[in-house]
Amino acid sequence: MSKLAQDIILGPVITEKSMTAARDSKKFTFKVAEDANKIEIASAVEQLFKVKVSKVNTINVRGQQRRYGRFEGYTASWKKAIVTLTPDSKNIEFFEGMM
């Protein structure tokens, strides 16, 4: 059963480093489903934003240890995808207002 594109791409990652990469080298960073692979991520980005993807890099981000008084635990682990667009592709409009 194939997943919907909205179930694969969970949201953008907005950091100073990701915004610089988006502006300079067309690399956009997203939080994605943990069970999604690179092929599914590429097709989901192409379907949602109508762009051409040349490469996808994925990173599993481990949860960090946090304390609240005498209680401690971990934040949730998640998966990050850095999507590189082809040079002739247009930029993703969502990121344009933030650059």
Domains of the chain by residue range? 5-93
What DSSP element (H or E) covers 16? helix 16-25
Sign of CA dihedral 11, 45, 99, 97: negative
Tokens representing 75 are 């934040």
Higher pLDDT, 83 or 97: 83
Q: What is the pLDDT of residue 94?
A: 78
Using CB atoms within 10 Å of the CB of residue 47, give its burial: 0 to 12 exposed, 13 to 18 middle, 19+ buried. middle
One of 1.10.260.40, 3.30.70.330, 3.30.1490.270, 3.20.190.10 is the CATH number of 5-93, namely 3.30.70.330
Tokens representing 52 are 């051409």
**Mean of pLDDT values over 29-54:** 95
Tokens representing 78 are 């998640």
> Are 84 and 26 spatial neighbours (Cβ–Cβ below 8 Å)?
yes
Asked if residue 1 has pLDDT above 60, the reply is: no
Higher pLDDT, 22 or 93: 22
pTM of the model: 0.88
